[in-house]
C-alpha cells in the first residue's frame, strides 16, 4: 500500500490527532489546548475548568472545513463541556475555529466569500454542497464581524483586490470584499463591508495603515 503525505494548514493552536477516510470526503480529527478557567454563561462565575467529555461515547462533532484535493473535509472532535461548580449548569466549550451554532469553520466562511466574487449564491451553494440560505447566513455573519475587523499593521501586503458581491434572493444584499493577493495561490480575505459604493471601499481601505496603503498594487 502506498503512503501519501500532505501538508494541511491549520488554524492557530489546532493539531491533527487522527484521520478518517470517508467516501468522497476526509475526516480530520483535531484537538486544541483546553482552557484552564471557564466563565459560566448562566451565572457568570469564573472558575478553574471542570471539564467533562461527551458521555455519548463515539459521538463526534463534525464541522465542515476547506476542501482537500477537491473533496469535502471535516474537522472531527469530541465535545467537551464545563460544569459550573456554583449553579451546575453545563456548557459546551466552543472550538476556537468556528462560531457558535454553525457547522463549519471560520475559514470555510472566508472561502464562501471568496467564491462569491464573480459568482452568485446559488452557484456557490451548488459547488460546496450547501444551501443558498447557508451562503447568505455566512455573508451576514461575516459582515457583522467586519465591523470589528482589524488588519495586522505589520502585515506585508503588496497586492490587493477589491470586489463587490451581491446576494439577490428576496432582499438585495451587497458587500465589498478586500482581498490580499500578495500570495496569488492563497488569496486571503482582509475585510468585508456592507454596500458596493465608494464608501464601502474606503471603509475597507481605512483598515490599512498609510504605510501599507503606499505599498499596495491594485489588481
Ligand atoms: Zn454557573
Work out the number of other CB atoms within 10 angstroms of the CB of residue 41.
Answer: 11
Cα of 13 to ligand 1 centre, how many Å? 27
Q: Give me the mean pLDDT over the 44-50 stretch.
A: 93
1-31 pLDDT per residue, tens: 777 787 788 888 999 999 988 889 999 999 9
* pLDDT the model gives residue 58: 61
Is the Cβ–Cβ distance between 90 and 78 less than 8 Å? no
Number of helical H runs and strand E runs in the chain: 5, 13
Cα of 145 to ligand 1 centre, how many Å? 28
Q: Does 193 score more than 90 pLDDT?
A: yes
Cα of 179 to ligand 1 centre, how many Å? 42
Q: Does 56 score more than 70 pLDDT?
A: no
Cα of 32 to ligand 1 centre, how many Å? 24
* pLDDT the model gives residue 164: 93
* pLDDT the model gives residue 79: 87
Q: Does 33 score more than 70 pLDDT?
A: yes
154-191 pLDDT per residue, tens: 999 999 999 999 887 667 889 999 999 999 888 999 99
* Alpha helices, DSSP H, located in 87-193: 106-116, 121-128, 132-146
Instruction: Give the pLDDT band of residue 55 (cuts 50, 70, 90).
Output: low
Quick one: cell of 176? 465589498
Cα of 44 to ligand 1 centre, how many Å? 6
Is the Cβ–Cβ distance between 167 and 135 less than 8 Å? yes
Instruction: Give the pLDDT band of residue 54 (cuts 50, 70, 90).
Output: low
Quick one: cell of 53? 467529555
96-153 pLDDT per residue, tens: 999 999 999 999 999 999 999 999 999 999 999 999 999 999 999 999 987 778 899 9
Cα of 49 to ligand 1 centre, how many Å? 12
Ion ligand 1 residue ranges (Cβ < 5 Å)? 40, 42-43, 45, 84, 86-87, 89
Q: Does 213 score more than 70 pLDDT?
A: yes
Amino acid at each position: 500500500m502506498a503512503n501519501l503525505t500532505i501538508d494541511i494548514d491549520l488554524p492557530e493552536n489546532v493539531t491533527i490527532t487522527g484521520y478518517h477516510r470517508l467516501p468522497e470526503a476526509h475526516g480530520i480529527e483535531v484537538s486544541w489546548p483546553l482552557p484552564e478557567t471557564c466563565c459560566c454563561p448562566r451565572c457568570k462565575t469564573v472558575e478553574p475548568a471542570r471539564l467533562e467529555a461527551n458521555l455519548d461515547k463515539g459521538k463526534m462533532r463534525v464541522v465542515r472545513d476547506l476542501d482537500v484535493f477537491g473533496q469535502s473535509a471535516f474537522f472531527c472532535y469530541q465535545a467537551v463541556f464545563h460544569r459550573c461548580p456554583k449553579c451546575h449548569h453545563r456548557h459546551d466549550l466552543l472550538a476556537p475555529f468556528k462560531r457558535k451554532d454553525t457547522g463549519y469553520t471560520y475559514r470555510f466562511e472566508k472561502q464562501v466569500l471568496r467564491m462569491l466574487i464573480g459568482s452568485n449564491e446559488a452557484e456557490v451553494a451548488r459547488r460546496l454542497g450547501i444551501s443558498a440560505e447557508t451562503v447568505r447566513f455566512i455573508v451576514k455573519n461575516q459582515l457583522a464581524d467586519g465591523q470589528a475587523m482589524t488588519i495586522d499593521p505589520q502585515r506585508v501586503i503588496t497586492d490587493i483586490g477589491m470586489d463587490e458581491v451581491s446576494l439577490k434572493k428576496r432582499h438585495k444584499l451587497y458587500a465589498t470584499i478586500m482581498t490580499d493577493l500578495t500570495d496569488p495561490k492563497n488569496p486571503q480575505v482582509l475585510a468585508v463591508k456592507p454596500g458596493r459604493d465608494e464608501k464601502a471601499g474606503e471603509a475597507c481601505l481605512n483598515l490599512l495603515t498609510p504605510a501599507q496603503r503606499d505599498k499596495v498594487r491594485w489588481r
